[in-house]
Amino acid sequence: MRIVSVGVVAVAAALIAAGGIAADPEPIDLSSLDDVVTPQASSATVWDELPLEPVSSTRVGERRFYVTGMLGESFATLAEPLYGEASRGSAINRSVFTAGGAAGVAFERDNGRLRIEVEGRGRDDVTAGVSQSFLDGFSANFNWAAADGWSALFNVWRDFTVSEQVDLYFGGGVGGGGYRYSMAGSAVLPSEPMVVLSYTSNAQVASFAWQAGGGVIWNLSDRVAFDVGYRFFSIDQAPAQLNASINDTPIGSILLPQQFTASELLFGLRIYEPFRRWR
């Protein structure tokens, strides 16, 4: 009987011991999973350091120096009364070559730029001639020239952005302009003795000048632009002295009012910050 009691007590002790293990199991260490669950990257990224303002506004207010070379065709008109009388026309009309340059400052705007510049250009000679002869012995020969044409103008242009590469511009300028006016002619009268009526003039003409126009700009890069433009150019009316003589004897002089105007087609190449090293 004692043996049975001892066995029961042993089994009970074993069950209690087993129950204690089951009731209070040893916890499992899951700390090694933190590296898997927790993200390694910080919430801050390199994009947080970049400005988010529109690209078009990042250069607003910036000033850039530029130079422009230009050449083109000048459809010139020289209105001069003696030519109208001799040719039975109205004015001398010629197409001549023009070339020059400009230097200025461009102020960047949110929809383009404002350009202020000083421009100088020259023009080829404008020439004309009239020669007439009649059966009764009367003849006349006249030649005109407006040579060494020049202009120096202060311009203001406004560029408007159409696309990333194309702009339109409008504006004008004021200043001075001039040329060297010359005229030589003679008329032979059929008489005895022969009478030769001569006219000569050689004067430097200079007066107030202005221009207005516009064009299209093609931006080849951030620093180089090509433009095609139209300008109407005018020099205010100015007089030139004309001397007259008969058989080389001076008989007097008169002032001939004249005016130079031109419609001009120009091609220009503009370089911004020309003295900055190219990169």
> What is the pLDDT confidence band of residue 22, given thresholds at 50, 70 and 90?
very low
Residue 110: domain span: 58-272
49 pLDDT band (50/70/90 cuts)? Answer: low
pLDDT higher than threshold 60 for residue 12: no
Q: Tell me if the bond preceding 239 is cis, omega within 30° of 0.
A: no
pLDDT of residue 208: 97
Question: What average pLDDT does the segment 36-61 reach?
Answer: 50
The per-residue pLDDT for 196 is 87
Q: Determine the average pLDDT of the residues in 85-100.
A: 88
User: pTM to 2 decimals?
Assistant: 0.74
- The CATH code of the domain that includes 264 is 2.40.160.20
User: Is 43 domain-assigned?
Assistant: no
Instruction: Answer whether residue 10 is part of any domain.
Output: no
Confidence of residue 14 (pLDDT cuts 50, 70, 90): very low
pLDDT at 6: 41
| Structure confidence at residue 31 (pLDDT) | 54
Distance CA 166, CA 122 (A): 28
pLDDT score recorded for residue 4: 42
Q: Flag whether 152 is in a domain.
A: yes
pLDDT reported for residue 57: 41
269: pLDDT confidence band, cut at 50, 70 and 90? very high
Q: Is residue 160 part of a domain?
A: yes
Q: Which of 180, 173, 199, 170 is nearest to 260 (CA)?
A: 180
- Would you give the end-to-end CA distance of the chain in angstroms? 109
Residue 34 in domain:
no
Structure tokens, 105? 């400052």
- Phi (first) and psi of residue 110, to 5 degrees: -70, -15
Confidence grade of residue 52 (pLDDT, cut at 50, 70, 90): very low
Task: Summarize pLDDT for 133-184 with one digit per residue, the tens.
Answer: 776 777 888 899 999 999 999 999 999 999 989 999 999 999 999 999 999 9
Domain count, the chain: 1
Tell whether the torsion through CA atoms of 101, 107, 112 and 116 is positive or negative: negative
Calculate the alpha carbon distances from 9 to 1, 3, 14, 19, 154 in Å. 13, 10, 9, 15, 120
Percentage above 90 pLDDT, the chain: 54
Residue 111 lies in a domain: yes
| pLDDT at residue 102 is higher than 50 | yes
42 located within any domain: no
pLDDT cut 70: percent of the chain above it: 77
- Distance, in Å, from the CA atom of 137 to the CA atom of 191, rounded to the nearest integer, reads 9
Listed ranges 11-15, 30-34, 149-153; the one with the highest mean pLDDT: 149-153
> Does residue 51 fall inside a structural domain?
no
For the chain, what is the mean pLDDT? 82
The per-residue pLDDT for 248 is 84
Give me the pLDDT at residue 82, please: 83
